[in-house]
Homo-oligomer: A and B are copies of this chain.
Amino acid sequence: MTIEHVAPAPRMKAADRRELILEAATAVFGAKTYVGTTTDEVARAAGVSQPYVVRLFGTKEKLFTAVIERAYSRLIGEFRRALPGDPEGRAERMGAAYTGLLAERGMLPVIANSTALGGEPVIGRVARAGFSDIWRFIRDEAGFSPEESREFIATGMLINTIVGLRLTGDYGNEVSATEVLDACFPDAVAKVRALLPQVDEPW
């Protein structure tokens, strides 16, 4: 635990502090994976003490599930805002909404990593629920056909993989990485690239 005598954090309503910690936690968990990050790192990123993080969320696991739930919730919110308008461009707008959310620190890696945690008893349930919500939204609210849904989700998973692997960092330097990105995002390479390198930036 880092002992770092510091002026107490300025007073704040617990709800606001919670949101602030969730934002910081998203960034840290996103950069270092669930088990790889300590509650102390989250606390320092949020500018509070480690015990306070634990007290506000109960356990590290609960903190993480809160982060995941928030991420999926935000994602659906973005999708919903992209809904109205010409039905023709709906998929494009929703895709843009997705990449838009990527700009938020840690948001995408958290979502991407969550899909690999189905084996964890508690976290897995939350991750499945989040994914199911997305799927239902796409089918019911957005009205995608099965084939459209599959295509849309698959593209999202591909983005997740590319970001998860940090392949964007190798673009231009490594042949295969360059090729993968060119093949997967013929139109949007620049956009995807511009958004993602910052994923690991120190907090």
Does any Cβ of B come within 8 Å of A62's Cβ?
Answer: no
Which 9 A-B residue pairs are closest in the complex by CB-CB distance? Answer: A35-B35, A118-B166, A132-B176, A132-B175, A146-B183, A118-B165, A116-B164, A154-B154, A157-B157
> Per-residue 0/1 for A112-136: is the Cβ within 8 Å of any B Cβ (1 yes, 0 no)?
1101111110001001110110011
> Per-residue 0/1 for A30-44: is the Cβ within 8 Å of any B Cβ (1 yes, 0 no)?
011111100000000
Bound form: Cα–Cα A112–B62 in Å: 24
Bound form: Cα–Cα A120–B32 in Å: 7
Interface of A is mostly: helix
Assuming the contacts A166-B124, A167-B128, asked whether A176 and B136 have C-beta atoms less than 8 A apart, the reply is yes
Question: Can you tell how many copies of this chain the complex includes?
Answer: 2
How distant is A25 from chain B, measured CB to nearest CB, in Å? Answer: 15
Residues of B with C-beta under 8 A to A161: 115, 131, 157, 160
Residues of B with C-beta under 8 A to A160: 115-116, 157, 161
B175 near A31: Cβ-Cβ < 8 Å: no
Chain A interface size band reads 35 or more
> Per-residue 0/1 for A79-109: is the Cβ within 8 Å of any B Cβ (1 yes, 0 no)?
0000000000000000000000000000001
A residues in contact (CB < 8 Å) with B:
31-36, 109, 112-113, 115-120, 124, 127-129, 131-132, 135-136, 139, 146-147, 149-150, 153-155, 157-158, 160-161, 163-167, 170-171, 174-177, 179-180, 182-184, 186, 199-200
